[in-house]
């Protein structure tokens, strides 16, 4: 078994990657600039190595075009795909979180307290409960970024200070399941670090990058972006980020030309 196969095995272990979402990861990683396109052939080869059937890829591409993420174009007998302006914008907005080594500078965080009466809660609390930008700390208490809050009318806003957050707050921000996902991912990433092939081909690098970025972003995007001090002490999210960044540096991004001509 080659080092490359070992690495992909680790990353695909027990995972059910949704093809639609995986294709988004591929384009986000390899073709995020306007004008970038991936040939149908390269896409097939890449997804095949991840264990995706050609029929499943076809369905995913159809759906992504229908949903406005992708466009395709033909050139003689071959075709290629590229992100639409909408797709480019979506990818660009997620990129800083996925690829950034540190959080970009953010606004302050605020505690949002809503009235404790049933009538008073209706509006604000209901809105906050269903908004994925904020984190719920209790029936009437939420946490959010000051510059990125849903419009709320009656809530009391107080600013999170420089003191470390109490453990129960961190455990509420990143629940036990999410924490376990981070900690499992770190173990996987560390295994990959050890089995990384020395001279990976462009397609091998693309496959490994896709699997790493995909596993990482699937966990990452389940919660709002938060300062490092908001993670539970025993959560390995920061270590995951560091390791992802190191691995991606090691597995340098293949050029689209290399990918299509192999």
Residues of this chain that interact with a copy of itself (CB under 8 A) are 110-111, 113, 115-117, 120, 137-141, 154-161, 163, 165-169, 172
| Residue 175 φ/ψ, nearest 5 degrees | -65, 170
| CB of residue 122 to a copy of itself, shortest distance in Å | 12
Q: What CA–CA distance (Å, rounded) separates 47 from 207?
A: 8
Q: What CA–CA distance (Å, rounded) separates 109 from 66?
A: 38
Q: Which is nearer to a copy of itself, 120 or 150 (CB)?
A: 120
| CB of residue 111 to a copy of itself, shortest distance in Å | 5
| Residue 37 φ/ψ, nearest 5 degrees | -145, 155
Q: Which is nearer to a copy of itself, 80 or 172 (CB)?
A: 172
- Alpha-carbon separation of residue 194 from 4, 207, 209, 211, 243 (angstroms): 11, 17, 15, 16, 12
Q: Which is nearer to a copy of itself, 163 or 177 (CB)?
A: 163
Q: Which is nearer to a copy of itself, 107 or 255 (CB)?
A: 107
Nearest CA to 170 among 137, 122, 206, 211? 137
Decide: 246 and 193 in contact? Cβ < 8 Å.
yes
| CB of residue 223 to a copy of itself, shortest distance in Å | 18
Q: Which is nearer to a copy of itself, 139 or 221 (CB)?
A: 139
Q: Which is nearer to a copy of itself, 165 or 247 (CB)?
A: 165
| CB of residue 157 to a copy of itself, shortest distance in Å | 7
| CB of residue 121 to a copy of itself, shortest distance in Å | 10
| CB of residue 127 to a copy of itself, shortest distance in Å | 15
Torsion angle defined by CA atoms of residues 60, 61, 63 and 64, in that order, rounded to the nearest 10 degrees: 110
Q: What CA–CA distance (Å, rounded) separates 96 from 89?
A: 12
């Amino acid at each position: 078994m080659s080092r490359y196969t070992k690495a992909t095995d680790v990353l695909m272990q027990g995972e059910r990657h949704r093809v639609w979402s995986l294709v988004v990861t591929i384009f986000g990683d390899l073709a995020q600039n306007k004008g970038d396109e991936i040939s149908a052939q390269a896409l097939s080869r890449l997804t095949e190595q991840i264990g995706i059937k050609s029929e499943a890829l076809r369905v995913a591409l159809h759906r992504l075009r229908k949903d406005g993420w992708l466009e395709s174009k033909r050139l003689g007998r071959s075709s290629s795909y590229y992100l639409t302006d909408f797709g480019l914008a979506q990818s660009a907005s997620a990129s800083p979180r996925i690829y950034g080594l540190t959080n970009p500078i953010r606004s302050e965080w605020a505690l949002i307290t809503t009235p404790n009466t049933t009538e008073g809660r209706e509006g604000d609390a209901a809105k906050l409960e269903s908004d994925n930008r904020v984190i719920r700390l209790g029936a009437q208490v939420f946490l959010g970024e000051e510059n990125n809050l849903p419009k709320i009318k009656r809530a009391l806003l107080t600013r999170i200070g420089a003191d470390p957050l109490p453990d129960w707050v961190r455990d509420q921000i990143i629940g036990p399941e999410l924490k376990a996902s981070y900690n499992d991912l770190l173990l996987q990433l560390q295994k990959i670090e050890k089995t990384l092939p020395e001279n990976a081909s462009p397609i091998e690098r693309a496959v490994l990058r896709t699997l790493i970025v995909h596993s990482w972003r699937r966990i990452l995007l389940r919660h709002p972006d938060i300062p490092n001090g908001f993670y539970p002490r025993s959560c390995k999210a920061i270590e995951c980020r560091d390791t992802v960044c190191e691995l991606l540096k090691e597995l340098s991004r293949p050029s689209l030309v290399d990918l299509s001509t192999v």
